Chain A
């Protein structure tokens, strides 16, 4: 039977580099024996003395880490900030794009709604897990080797600071807006051919209103690019934004109110669902349009007066 001290020393040595093992073995045993003797001298019985000494030395694995000079963490504070930024970007920007792109591919390939949703969820989980794992793995590697930080631009410089001048959108925001507009157009076109057996929206709309909406959305894209290049927002921006919002909002409400928005033979044309769908559609469109116009007017006003604006993503004002 092995003694408590043997078990402790074996456990600690397991995780100590091979070439130091014999020496640490001898030294640790001597130190433990010294401590036990000291306790016995003050009147403790042997077993209690051993137990207390080992208790004081603590977790043998932690002790081994200290002997080996190992870090007992995966990612240190130096790299954590960059890791978090990269993860945030991957999960809020890259992952949605990948999932939507694959879902669209599935839909074009002739999948029905169930298949598209199923594959989208599958992609979301698989791609998400892979992204998180491999990114973290690379960062852990960088942490362990201490290599490549400068080359990868992980060393922070004042130049890395984002530019917060109001009116100049951060580059990624522009990309998000444009991707969103592209997806809306794609969804509008694709719903005619895929996703469901019958189109979701009224096919009669293709004679004028659906192409009209596509044109409005393309103009929205042009507007986004235009404003991203403006140094300061002017009243013209407010007006153009309002015109575009109304150009999309008014026809949408009118079409929905006159039962020409959803396809009567489609998923939302069902008599039970149709009034709800139409009602929500009208309310959502009105709210979104009004909000868009008011919000932009407010931003322009602040920008012109030089009042504090929110820094995107932080909730702080500058």
Chain B
């Protein structure tokens, strides 16, 4: 029971930040909140609506996303799109992710992975 709670806490810490990379990557094609939530959860990113929606606004205020209201459909929706700066940040984050992945894998092999 305790180890389950510990594990989920560590997993949560590890996943924190991945939502930002994922969102900035997905939103190179403009999208709105709920659609992004669906896309992310289908892609295997566990993210809650109450985290994602405020996050989108934060990324917008940092200039990594821009937004536009789309009123073409019956329900007006706020569409977010990754800016050039956001794309650069996403690229940097993905590079770092790849580096970490390699580093962790290397550690696993050099220190003798348990089977």
Contact = CB atoms under 8 A, between A and B. Distances in A.
A34 interface: yes
B18 to A, nearest CB: 18
A94 B78 CA distance: 58
B49 A30 contact: no
Interface stretch (A56-64, A135-143, A237-245): A56-64
A255 interface: no
Interface of A is mostly: helix
Contact of B75 (A20, A24, A30, A62): A30
B49 A26 contact: no
A183 interface: no
Contact of A31 (B33, B48, B51, B69): B33
Interface of B: 32-35, 38, 48-51, 53-54, 57-58, 69, 75-78
Contact of B50 (A24, A27, A63): A63
Contacts of B54: 63, 66-67, 69
Contacts of B49: 31, 35, 56-57
Contacts of B51: 66
A38 interface: yes
Contacts of A56: 48-50
B53 to A, nearest CB: 6
A38 B50 contact: no
A66 B58 CA distance: 9
Contact size range, A: 20 to 34
Contacts of B38: 38
Interface of A: 20, 23-24, 26-28, 30-31, 33-35, 38, 56-58, 62-63, 66-67, 69
Contact of A67 (B35, B57, B76, B77): B57
B78 A34 contact: no
Contacts of A23: 78
B75 A33 contact: yes
Contacts of B50: 56-58, 62-63, 66
A54 B51 CA distance: 14
A23 to B, nearest CB: 8
A66 B75 CA distance: 25
